[in-house]
């Protein structure tokens, strides 16, 4: 857990800044008025605009208006914009539905949609999601081969590797919380943290599972060419086993500002800008155990571990649209910054710090410029005035990541254990959760 503390600390600092900023805006009379309204059990309902009849309680009735902050005027459904200081008036007043977090809420008082009736004026937003995400598969080289007859040549039957190996979808979580800094909801700040469960794959082979075949680890000798290290051989005979284990974990955090860019009756588009951090940690380990080889007991392993830590700025747009009790949101943004890539190689054979492919322990670090685009789409349904249930889809992509399998040098005897190769990485999948505005 210690490697997660850095991201958790950054997230907590971001939330602390949010609280301090909110306290500072408490000196604003508009903010104080809105805070007082928020602390009341129900928002005070304002009279409808001049010339407009009171809204009946029947299905599909005309909208009614609730004032949740000073500085805005109610009127027909028209364009709405804030001036540079976010203190101007709207040219329409009807600047969106319940879902939109605007200065005025226009709500269809359809008895079949009681959940859409207004609660207290929202100052905060909170979204929690459960994740079911897939990761990009592992493009493994040929790691384990076999022969069905006695031969001095390397095995020709591929038992593991030589293809993309994909794991199963993994569960995770995501938390997004923020607050508005002004009564007209033109500027807000927030923080987000998310993590995906560890993915682990394992391949195992031994003399019991393959009694009539050899088990071999292929490599390329710098002098003689293709060779193999025999782990189990029924023709000699001697028995051994091999295990190949891969792991992968991904997590990240954001601190961001949210500013109103375009607002109409039933939707709004906000500009999103901030700072984000992500970590992608992966490993590949090959263990062999030969208790009765002709040269005596042999236990060896090769291990490749990578750490990728991204730091950069992000910019994008957040779209929200409300239709009755249904809300559609779409986040599209890109992060640009530095990926610190660290590769750690370790090998050991019978206590000697040298493996088969890892000819010497080594740690290498490099920095790469990386783009991290992100897409998040969600649909939510209001179950009461403040809570929505939501389902959606998310995709994140990193243009340059160090992965263990891309570091392997298959040539033995050239005094090279590591080769840095560029590779992309992505995660994508379903999100299910709830969001609250309070």
pLDDT attached to residue 419: 86
Task: Read off the tokens for 252.
Answer: 């990240």
Model pLDDT for residues 181-231, shown as the tens digit of each residue: 988 889 999 999 999 999 999 999 999 999 999 999 999 999 999 999 999
Q: What is the CATH number of domain 2-14+131-437?
A: 2.40.128
What radius of gyration do the chain's Cα atoms show?
A: 30
Q: If we measure between CA atoms, which residue out of 363, 366, 316, 315 comes closest to residue 338?
A: 366
Q: Is 261 exposed, middle or buried (0-12, 13-18, 19+ CB in 10 A)?
A: middle
Residue 99: DSSP 8-state: G
Q: What is the mean pLDDT of the chain?
A: 79
Q: What is the DSSP string of 150-215?
A: --SSPP-EEEE-SEEE----EEEEEEEEEEESSTT--EEEEEEEEEEEEEEEEEEEETTTSTTS-E
Domain boundary assignment for the chain: 2-14+131-437
Residue 290 CB neighbour total at 10 angstroms: 23
Q: Per-residue pLDDT tens, the chain, 438 aa: give them.
A: 444 445 444 544 444 444 444 444 444 555 555 555 544 544 334 444 445 444 444 333 333 333 333 333 332 223 344 333 333 333 333 333 333 333 333 333 344 444 444 445 678 999 999 999 999 999 999 999 999 998 888 888 999 999 999 888 999 999 999 999 988 889 999 999 999 999 999 999 999 999 999 999 999 999 999 999 999 999 989 999 999 999 999 999 999 999 999 988 788 999 999 999 999 999 999 999 999 888 888 999 999 999 999 999 999 999 999 888 899 999 999 999 999 999 999 999 998 999 999 988 999 999 999 999 999 999 999 998 789 999 999 999 999 999 999 999 999 988 787 888 889 999 999 999 999 988
Whole-number Å distance between alpha carbons of 221 and 435: 59
pLDDT attached to residue 185: 86
Residue 101: DSSP 8-state: -
How many CA atoms, within 13 angstroms, populate the side-chain half-sphere of residue 156?
Answer: 6
This prediction's pTM = 0.76
Task: Read off the tokens for 202.
Answer: 């394992």
């Amino acid at each position: 857990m210690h490697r997660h503390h850095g991201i958790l600390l950054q997230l907590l600092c971001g939330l602390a800044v949010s609280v301090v900023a909110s306290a500072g805006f408490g000196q604003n009379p508009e903010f104080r008025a809105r805070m007082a309204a928020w602390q009341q059990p129900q928002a005070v309902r304002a009279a409808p605009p001049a010339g407009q009849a009171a809204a009946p309680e029947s299905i599909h009735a005309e909208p009614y208006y609730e004032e949740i902050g000073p500085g805005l005027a109610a009127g027909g459904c028209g364009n709405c914009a804030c001036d540079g200081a976010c203190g101007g008036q709207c040219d329409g007043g009807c600047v969106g539905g319940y879902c939109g977090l605007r200065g005025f809420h226009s709500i269809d008082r359809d008895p079949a949609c009681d959940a859409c009736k207004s609660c207290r004026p929202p100052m905060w937003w909170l979204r929690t999601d459960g994740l079911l995400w897939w990761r990009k598969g592992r493009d493994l080289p040929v790691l384990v081969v076999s022969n069905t007859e006695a031969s001095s040549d390397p095995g020709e039957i591929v038992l593991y590797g030589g293809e993309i190996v994909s794991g199963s979808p993994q569960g995770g979580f995501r938390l997004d919380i923020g607050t508005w800094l002004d009564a007209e909801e033109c500027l807000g700040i927030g923080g987000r943290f998310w993590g995906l469960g560890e993915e682990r794959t394992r391949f195992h082979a031994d003399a019991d599972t393959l009694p009539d075949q050899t088990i071999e680890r292929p490599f390329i000798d710098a002098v003689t060419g293709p060779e193999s290290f025999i782990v189990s051989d029924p023709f000699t005979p001697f028995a051994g086993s091999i295990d190949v284990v891969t792991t992968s974990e991904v997590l990240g955090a954001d601190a961001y500002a949210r500013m109103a860019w375009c607002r109409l009756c039933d939707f709004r588009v906000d500009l999103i800008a901030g700072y984000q951090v992500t970590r992608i940690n992966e490993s590949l380990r090959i263990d062999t155990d030969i208790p009765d080889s002709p040269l005596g007991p042999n236990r060896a392993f090769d291990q490749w571990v990578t750490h990728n830590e991204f730091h950069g700025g992000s910019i994008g747009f957040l779209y929200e649209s409300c239709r009755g009790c249904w809300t559609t949101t779409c986040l599209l943004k890109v992060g640009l910054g530095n990926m610190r890539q660290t590769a750690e190689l370790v090998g050991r054979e019978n206590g000697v710090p040298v493996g088969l492919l890892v000819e010497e322990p080594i740690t290498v670090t490099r920095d790469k410029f990386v783009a991290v685009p992100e897409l998040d789409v969600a649909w939510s349904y209001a179950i009461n005035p403040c809570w929505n249930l939501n389902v959606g889809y998310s995709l994140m992509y990193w243009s340059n990541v160090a992965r263990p399998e891309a570091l392997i040098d298959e040539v033995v005897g050239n005094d090279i254990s590591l080769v840095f190769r560029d590779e992309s990485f992505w995660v994508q999948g379903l999100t299910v959760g709830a969001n609250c505005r309070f």
